[in-house]
Amino acid sequence: AQKITQTQPGMFVQEKEAVTLDCTYDTSDQSYGLFWYKQPSSGEMIFLIYQGSYDEQNATEGRYSLNFQKARKSANLVISASQLGDSAMYFCAMREGRDAGKSTFGDGTTLTVKP
């Protein structure tokens, strides 16, 4: 069975600094994908970034990058130059097989950006 572990229930970062949110996963599949979602206090789930298991380069999307270490089974999210609007809950998720919709989610990390 697949499993996602986010060990940091809460994180604080100073505005304009970088922050890393940890995610480790466990799967026996060779082909899988890893996602990060942001959930602000308003409740919607916002897709941030995706990394496929066969992708050789780490994914980047603007200020977001995914530090993918396959041997360690980790997929950490790095947010550069934090902004106050980055304060939210962040979820790491992994898709089962080829169906992105059948994903397993971690319990999330609450990020608070301090001015």
Asked if 43 interacts with another protein (CB under 8 A), we say yes
Cβ closer to another protein: 47 or 81? 47
User: Quick check: 103 binds another protein (CB under 8 A)?
Assistant: yes
Place of tokens 């977001």: 64
* Count of residues engaged in binding another protein, rule: CB under 8 A: 21
Q: How far is the CB of 71 from another protein (least distance, A)?
A: 22
Q: Which residues contact 21 (CB under 8 A, 6 or more apart)?
A: 6, 8, 11, 36, 76, 77, 78, 79, 90, 92, 109, 111
User: What does the block give as tokens for 16?
Assistant: 């304009």
> Contact with another protein (CB under 8 A): which of 35, 36, 75, 113?
35
Tokens 């809460």 belong to 10
Stretch that binds another protein, among 20-28, 61-69, 70-78, 96-104 (CB under 8 A): 96-104
- By the rule CB under 8 A, 95 interacts with another protein: yes
Dihedral angle sign, alpha carbons of residues 60, 66, 72, 74: negative
Helix (H, G, I), strand (E, B) or coil at 102: strand
36 lies in the binding site for another protein (CB under 8 A): no
Residues contributing to the site for another protein (CB under 8 A): 4, 33, 35, 43-45, 47, 50, 52, 91, 93, 95, 99-103, 105-108
